[in-house]
């Protein structure tokens, strides 16, 4: 909006009704990331209806007196509307001067097959990078997505790999029970994800972070699911439902009773929630792009592939560079920091 004031109700209605709407573009996600400054830019049509938007997270980089501007899964607009994308970029440029941003980064919800979108953003001056084939980006570049449109529970279940159907029924038969948890269960979930992180060698956030996700999105847009066996929690998940999609955001399990297959039953419960809520897409989130069986994350791929979602590759990370010199220095420093952090974590 040209007057700089955003009608948040109107903005959220646009996000939730647009096919490219994403929970990471929502005011709730900006609240989760409150240690970043948030700005929202929009473009309207002649009738005052929003036709394009970007939620920007802005954060100072270490040492240098500059900031990075990041729009997770932005922009939200017709990906082939070059004029709207250009207008959004112009508004970002104005904010870049205000915040001394050296770059605008975004990883849009656009599949790599959409070459028309890539041509538009390259023409506008964006650098497009794909990186490696695992989790090098800020958001995963490879996901599995299950199309729910026009399908019943029975049809979706029938499409699963027979081993997935077997494991869901095994968990039920063995007495695994799944319930929708409360905020108090975020502490339970955190204990389980700490155990999972140690087992599978990934970085776990603080309990307060997961509670903040719950506080900002639940009950309308988030649920924590807890799977129990003989009264003891053995696995849990967090799902986000926003607009026409539902995302499997986080998952955890303890080392005991994994043979009871609680994670399969948890996925089935989240898929049913998405279906009941009228979602078009259930998103399993990240998988490795390198499908070599020797990849340490191949087990994650194997687990998700059985649900017969579409293996989806996004266009990649887009960088619009405001200051090439600072960009060169900052990107080198960020890469070195991530490598150091990875090495330190592996030693633990």
Write the pLDDT tens digit of every residue in 166-207. Answer: 999 999 999 999 999 999 999 999 999 999 999 988 889 999
Per mean pLDDT, which range of 60-74, 194-208, 225-239, 296-310 is the poorest?
Answer: 296-310
pLDDT for position 288: 75
For residue 132, pLDDT over 70 is answered with no
pLDDT for position 2: 45
Average pLDDT estimate for 145-155 = 97
> DSSP labels for 245-263?
EEEEEEEEE-STTGGG-HH
Rounded CA-CA distance 224/191 in Å is: 14
Of the candidates 59, 58, 41, which has an alpha carbon nearest to the alpha carbon of residue 50? 41
Average pLDDT estimate for 106-124 = 97
pLDDT for position 133: 52
SS3 198: helix
- Using DSSP bridges, classify how beta strands 67-71 and 76-77 pair: parallel, antiparallel or unpaired: unpaired
For residue 24, pLDDT over 70 is answered with yes
Write the pLDDT tens digit of every residue in 228-254. Answer: 999 999 999 999 999 999 999 999 999
Write the pLDDT tens digit of every residue in 27-50. Answer: 999 999 999 999 999 999 999 999
The residue with greater pLDDT, 338 or 345, is 338
For residue 262, pLDDT over 90 is answered with yes
The residue with greater pLDDT, 205 or 2, is 205
Structure tokens at 142: 């490879």
pLDDT for position 331: 84
> DSSP labels for 264-319?
HHHHHHHHHHHHHTT-SEEEEEE--S---TTSTTHHHHHHHHTTT-EEEEB--EEE
Residue matched to tokens 């087990």 = 299
The torsion angles phi and psi of 246, rounded to 5 degrees, stand at -130, 135
Q: Percent of the chain, pLDDT > 90? A: 82
pLDDT band for 135, please (50, 70, 90 cuts).
Answer: very low
pLDDT for position 342: 60
Domains of the chain, first to last: 8-139+314-347 (3.40.630.30), 143-313 (3.40.630.30)
pLDDT band for 344, please (50, 70, 90 cuts).
Answer: low
Of the candidates 197, 229, 227, 228, which has an alpha carbon nearest to the alpha carbon of residue 210? 197
pLDDT band for 302, please (50, 70, 90 cuts).
Answer: confident
pLDDT for position 1: 38
Average pLDDT estimate for 263-285 = 97
Rounded CA-CA distance 347/337 in Å is: 16
- Using DSSP bridges, classify how beta strands 67-71 and 101-106 pair: parallel, antiparallel or unpaired: parallel
Structure tokens at 291: 């499908």
Report the Cα 266 to chain-centroid distance in Å. 19
* Environment class of 290 (CB within 10 Å of its CB; exposed 0-12, middle 13-18, buried 19+): middle
User: Mean pLDDT of all residues in the chain?
Assistant: 92
Of the candidates 335, 245, 304, which has an alpha carbon nearest to the alpha carbon of residue 24? 245
pLDDT for position 130: 84
Q: How many distinct helices (H) and strands (E) make up the chain? A: 11, 14
Average pLDDT estimate for 337-345 = 62
pLDDT for position 322: 98
Do residues 25 and 76 make contact, with C-beta atoms less than 8 angstroms apart?
Answer: yes
Average pLDDT estimate for 68-75 = 97
Write the pLDDT tens digit of every residue in 79-96. Answer: 999 999 999 999 999 999
SS3 156: helix
pLDDT band for 214, please (50, 70, 90 cuts).
Answer: very high
pLDDT for position 343: 62
pLDDT for position 27: 98
The residue with greater pLDDT, 343 or 275, is 275
Of the candidates 117, 113, 135, which has an alpha carbon nearest to the alpha carbon of residue 126? 117
Rounded CA-CA distance 221/243 in Å is: 9
**Predicted TM-score (pTM) of this structure:** 0.92
For residue 164, pLDDT over 80 is answered with yes
């Amino acid at each position: 909006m040209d007057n700089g004031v955003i009608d948040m109700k109107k903005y959220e209605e646009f996000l939730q009704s647009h096919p490219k709407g994403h929970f990471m573009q929502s005011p709730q996600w900006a609240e989760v990331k409150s240690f970043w400054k948030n700005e929202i830019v929009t473009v309207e049509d002649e009738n005052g209806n929003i036709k394009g938007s970007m939620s920007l997270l802005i954060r100072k980089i270490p040492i240098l007196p500059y900031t990075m501007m990041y729009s997770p899964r932005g922009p939200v607009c017709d990906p082939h509307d070059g004029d709207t994308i250009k207008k959004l970029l112009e508004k970002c440029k104005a904010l870049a001067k205000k915040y001394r941003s050296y770059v605008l980064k975004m990883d849009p919800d656009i599949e790599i097959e959409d070459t028309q979108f890539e041509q538009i953003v390259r023409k506008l001056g964006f650098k497009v990078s794909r990186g490696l084939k695992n989790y090098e980006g800020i958001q995963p570049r490879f996901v599995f997505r299950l199309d729910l449109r026009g399908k019943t529970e029975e049809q979706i279940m029938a499409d699963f790999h027979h081993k997935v159907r077997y494991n869901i029924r095994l968990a039920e038969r063995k007495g695994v029970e799944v319930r929708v948890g409360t905020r108090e269960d975020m502490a339970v979930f955190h204990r389980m994800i700490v155990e999972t992180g140690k087992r599978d060698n990934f970085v776990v956030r603080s309990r307060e972070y997961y509670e903040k996700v719950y506080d900002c999105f639940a009950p309308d847009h988030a649920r924590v699911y807890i799977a129990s066996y003989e009264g003891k929690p053995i696995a849990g998940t967090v799902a986000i439902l926003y607009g026409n999609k539902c995302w499997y955001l986080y998952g955890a399990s303890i080392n005991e009773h994994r043979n009871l297959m609680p994670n399969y039953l948890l996925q089935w419960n989240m898929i049913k929630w998405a279906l009941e809520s009228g979602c078009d897409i259930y998103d399993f989130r990240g998988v490795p792009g390198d499908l070599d069986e020797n990849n340490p994350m191949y087990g994650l791929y194997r687990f998700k592939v059985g649900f017969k979602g579409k293996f989806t590759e996004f266009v990649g990370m887009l960088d619009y560079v405001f200051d090439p010199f600072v960009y060169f220095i900052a990107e080198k420093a960020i890469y070195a920091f991530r490598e150091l952090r990875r090495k330190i974590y592996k030693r633990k």
